[in-house]
Structure 1
Amino acid sequence: MITGAGRGLGLEIARVALASDEHVALAARRPEYLPEDVRHHPNALPVRLDVTDRTRISAAVAEVIERFGSVDVLVNNAGRGLLGALEEITDAEARALFDVNVFGLINTTRAVLPSMRAAGKGKLVHIGSRSGFEGEPGVSIYSASKFAVAGISEALAAELAPFGIQSMVVEPGVFRTDFLDASSVQLPGSRIADYDDTPAHVTLDWAEEANHKQLGDPVKGAAFIYRVASGDKLPLHLPVGQDALDRRSAMTERIERETAPWREASAATAHTDSG
Structure 2
Amino acid sequence: MRQNNKVWLITGCSTGFGREIAIHAINAGYKVIVTARKPETLTDLKKLNEKNVLVLPLDVTDKKQVNEAVQKSIDAFGQIDVLINNAGIGYFSSVEESLEEETRNMFEINFWGLMNMTNAVLPTMRNQKSGHIINFSSIGGLASFPSLGYYHATKYAVEGISESLGQELASFNIKVSLIEPSSFRTDWAGRSSVKTESKIYADTIGMMIQGTEKGSGNEPGNPAKAAEAIIAIVESPNPPLRLLLGQAAYQVATHKYTSLLDTIEEWKETTVTADYE
TM range (shorter): over 0.9
| Stretch deviating more after TM superposition (206-215 or 36-45) | 36-45
Aligned-pair CA distance for 1:33: 1.2
Letter in 1 for 2:100: D
Normalised by the length of structure 1, the TM-score is 0.95
Instruction: Give percent identity, aligned residues only.
Output: 35
Structure 1 portions without partners, runs of 5+? none
Q: Is 1:264 aligned to residue 272 of structure 2?
A: no
Match of 1:210 in 2: 215
| In structure 2, C-alpha distance between the alignment counterparts of 1:164 and 1:259, rounded to whole Å | 34
Q: Is 1:109 aligned to residue 118 of structure 2?
A: yes
Q: Is 1:219 aligned to residue 228 of structure 2?
A: no
Q: Is 1:133 aligned to residue 142 of structure 2?
A: yes
| Stretch deviating more after TM superposition (21-30 or 259-268) | 259-268
8 Å CA contact 1:39, 1:45 repeated in 2: no
Structure 1 runs, 4 residues or longer, greater than 6 Å off:
none
8 Å CA contact 2:26, 2:48 repeated in 1: no
Match of 2:49 in 1: 41
Match of 2:36 in 1: 28
Count of residues in correspondence between the two structures? 268
Match of 1:2 in 2: 10
8 Å CA contact 2:11, 2:86 repeated in 1: yes
Alignment of 1:66-105 (within 5 A): 66-105=75-114
Aligned-pair CA distance for 1:31: 1.1
Q: Secondary structure at the match of 1:253?
A: helix
| In structure 1, C-alpha distance between the alignment counterparts of 2:159 and 2:79, rounded to whole Å | 25
8 Å CA contact 2:18, 2:86 repeated in 1: yes
Choose from 196, 203, 208 the match for 1:197.
Answer: 203
Match of 1:144 in 2: 153
RMSD value over aligned CA atoms?
1.2
8 Å CA contact 2:45, 2:53 repeated in 1: no
Letter in 1 for 2:42: L
Structure 2 portions without partners, runs of 5+? 1-8
Closer, same or farther: CA 32–39 of 1 in aligned 2, 3 Å: farther
Normalised by the length of structure 2, the TM-score is 0.94
Match of 2:255 in 1: 250
8 Å CA contact 1:27, 1:49 repeated in 2: yes
Aligned-pair CA distance for 1:35: 5.0
| Stretch deviating more after TM superposition (39-48 or 74-83) | 39-48
Match of 1:118 in 2: 127
Aligned-pair CA distance for 1:40: 5.2
Q: Secondary structure at the match of 1:167?
A: strand
Q: For each residue in 1:168-190, what CA deviation from the matched residue of structure 2 results, as whole angstroms up to 9, or x when unmatched? A: 100011001121223x10001x4
| In structure 1, C-alpha distance between the alignment counterparts of 2:202 and 2:47, rounded to whole Å | 44
Match of 1:158 in 2: 167
Aligned-pair CA distance for 1:229: 2.0
Q: Is 1:177 aligned to residue 186 of structure 2?
A: yes
